Structure 1
Amino acid sequence: MYDSDVSDEEWKLIKHFFDPVDNRGGAGAKHTKRTIVNAIFYLNKTGVQWRLLPKEFPPWKTVYDHYSQWNRGGVWEKVMDQLNREHRKKTAKKQRRAMV
């Protein structure tokens, strides 16, 4: 829906980082982790204030709480490292093909 949304390929690479962090005590999640991650990436890309998050995303407080929890747990660092590694692999492959 937005340019900042993670692709299916990207989500497959990072979704396991978000699965272990769940403090709802077994209750079903109202919003998917992917939707919350997309909201955080949207905030990061646009610079919009938390409270101005578009209505298509979960409530800003829900997104903020997940962001804070994942930040404290070091999840974002791991996610960005994984995405950067994958990007570098793809870039290196493209450069090798261009040389041939």
Structure 2
Amino acid sequence: MVDTRGLLPGVMVTAADTGDRAAAQVLLDQVADAHHRLALIWADGGYTGSLVEYYLATLALVVAIVKRSDDQKGFVVVPKRWIVERLFAHLMRTRRLVRDFERRNTSAEAMVYWSMILLMTRRVARP
């Protein structure tokens, strides 16, 4: 999960057989508990369905699905999606995250947080 500034309020590394919607529900519950001012979530088209209604009913969170318009052809960066793509580019600058070296999900999550700490300290130290 990425905020509009490109920072990481939460991360969840799962096994390959875990669906994105199931993992998103657990992650959003954790992030919503920690960040009480959270009101709007932009999500990819893969998160449509019952997830949108669930968060509106239980946590009063609005999940807005950002989709590419039908008249666009080829590779087009969807608005708001570029924030996530930029974060992925920053994370891939950390050599340990380029390949799956970690054996446990918790250590993989720790490596992502470590990479984000490096990114945030660079932003703070910038003149």
What is the TM-score when the length of structure 1 is the normalising length?
A: 0.34
Structure with greater helix share of residues: 1
Larger RCO (CA under 8 A, 6+ residues apart): 1
